[in-house]
């Protein structure tokens, strides 16, 4: 919620993930792990203690054979804006270790500030936050591939997707050196967006009409940034978390799975967004 000095109108980085295209291949997860020095352990099958900033959920329509359908849903941190930057996690962190940037709309996480109370994890309905239950240990030799752009986290702190914020910093520096006023769309892309072989992820500034993500999402600021695209939805939109990750699906059951609805309510049409 800090207000940095600004020369440009504030940006709002966000994503549009096309679930029609997503194949659940997992490249986004590993691209993220590789980009962000995410540790791993011998047994990662207990998904409740496994760290994966980008996590791919498998949704089913609940119907029996042969009417069963599957949809994969990649879930990075939703970088909720909440109301005026009061995202669920930012507002609860007692030590200001996580913050909402008014410049970029990115929810940050300062690992060396976090003391591991895990309140933010309880606050996040998306389970986008992960705790380092163990010291990160790389098998001998493997620490060679660690990237200096993202510091490995110590035991006892919470971590999460940063929209590859280090890439923004690099792009911003480069733009500055090139005398560009803004960071060009192509210059700042997250690792998952870049890797996705299906091209299902589009990333950019939701405030910038020139950016593809804006054109796809067409956010409506009068309706709490709800998308004007009939295929689009956000996860748990009606809670008022105001996330910046939008999903697209042509399937009604998938869009409905994105939020809680009472039996009589129509998908995508709820009376009032909370807050």
CB of 220 to another protein, least distance (A): 20
CB of 214 to another protein, least distance (A): 19
Q: Is 16 in the site for another protein (CB under 8 A)?
A: no
CB of 237 to another protein, least distance (A): 10
CB of 56 to another protein, least distance (A): 8
Stretch that binds another protein, among 171-179, 208-216, 222-230, 238-246 (CB under 8 A): 238-246
Cα–Cα distance, 195 to 200 (Å, whole number): 10
Among 6, 147, 169, 173, binds another protein (CB under 8 A): 147
Among 106, 171, 213, 235, binds another protein (CB under 8 A): 235
Identify which of residues 3 and 274 has a Cβ nearer to another protein in the complex: 274
Backbone angles phi and psi of 175, in degrees to 5? -60, -40
Angle among Cα 202, 89, 191 to the nearest 5 degrees reads: 25
Where are the extended beta strands (E) located within the chain?
A: 13-18, 55-60, 70-75, 98-100, 107-109, 129-131, 158-160, 201-205, 219-220, 226-227, 232-233, 245-248
CB of 190 to another protein, least distance (A): 12
**Under rule CB under 8 A, which residues in 22-41 are in contact with another protein?**
23-27, 29-31, 33-35, 37, 40
CB of 226 to another protein, least distance (A): 15
Cα–Cα distance, 62 to 256 (Å, whole number): 13
**Under rule CB under 8 A, which residues in 98-137 are in contact with another protein?**
112-127, 129-137
Identify which of residues 40 and 212 has a Cβ nearer to another protein in the complex: 40
Taking alpha carbons only, the member of 85, 14, 124, 109 closest to residue 275 is: 85
Among 4, 5, 7, 43, binds another protein (CB under 8 A): 43
**Under rule CB under 8 A, which residues in 45-104 are in contact with another protein?**
45-52, 56-60, 63-66, 68-73, 82, 86, 88, 90-97
Give the x/- contact pattern for another protein in 186-225, rule: CB under 8 A.
Answer: -----x--xxxxxxx-------------------------
Scored b (16 or more CB within 10 A) or e, 167-206 reads: bbeebbeebeeeeeebbebebbbbbbbebbeeebbbbbbb
Cα–Cα distance, 98 to 107 (Å, whole number): 7
Backbone angles phi and psi of 26, in degrees to 5? 90, 5
Q: Is 239 in the site for another protein (CB under 8 A)?
A: yes
Cα–Cα distance, 71 to 44 (Å, whole number): 23
| Location of structure tokens 């939109």 | 237
Q: Is 173 in the site for another protein (CB under 8 A)?
A: no
3-state secondary structure of 20: coil
Alpha helices in 81-146 (DSSP H): 119-123
CB of 34 to another protein, least distance (A): 6
């Amino acid at each position: 919620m800090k207000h940095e000095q600004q020369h440009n109108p504030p940006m709002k980085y966000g994503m549009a993930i096309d679930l029609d295209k997503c194949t659940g291949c997992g490249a986004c997860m590993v691209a993220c792990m590789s980009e962000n020095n995410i540790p791993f352990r011998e047994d990662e099958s207990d998904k409740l203690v496994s760290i994966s900033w980008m996590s791919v959920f498998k949704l089913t329509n609940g119907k029996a054979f042969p009417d069963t359908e599957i949809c994969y849903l990649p879930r990075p941190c939703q970088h909720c804006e909440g109301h005026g930057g009061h995202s669920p996690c930012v507002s609860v962190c007692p030590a200001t270790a996580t913050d909402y940037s008014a410049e970029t709309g990115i929810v940050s996480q300062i690992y060396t500030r976090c003391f591991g109370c895990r309140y933010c994890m309880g606050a996040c309905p998306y389970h986008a936050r992960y705790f380092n239950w163990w010291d990160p240990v790389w098998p001998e030799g493997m620490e060679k591939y660690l990237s200096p752009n993202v510091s490995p986290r110590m035991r006892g702190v919470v971590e999460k997707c940063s929209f590859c914020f280090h890439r923004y910093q690099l792009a911003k520096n480069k733009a500055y050196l090139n005398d560009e006023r803004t960071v060009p769309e192509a210059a700042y892309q997250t690792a998952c967006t870049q890797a996705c072989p299906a091209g299902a992820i589009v990333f950019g500034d939701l405030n910038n009409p020139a950016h593809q993500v804006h054109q796809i999402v067409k956010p409506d600021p009068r309706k709490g940034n709800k998308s004007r695209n009939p295929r689009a939805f956000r996860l748990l939109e009606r809670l008022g978390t105001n996330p910046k990750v939008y999903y697209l699906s042509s399937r009604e059951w998938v869009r409905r799975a994105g939020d809680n609805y009472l039996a009589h309510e129509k998908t995508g049409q709820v009376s009032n967004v909370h807050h």
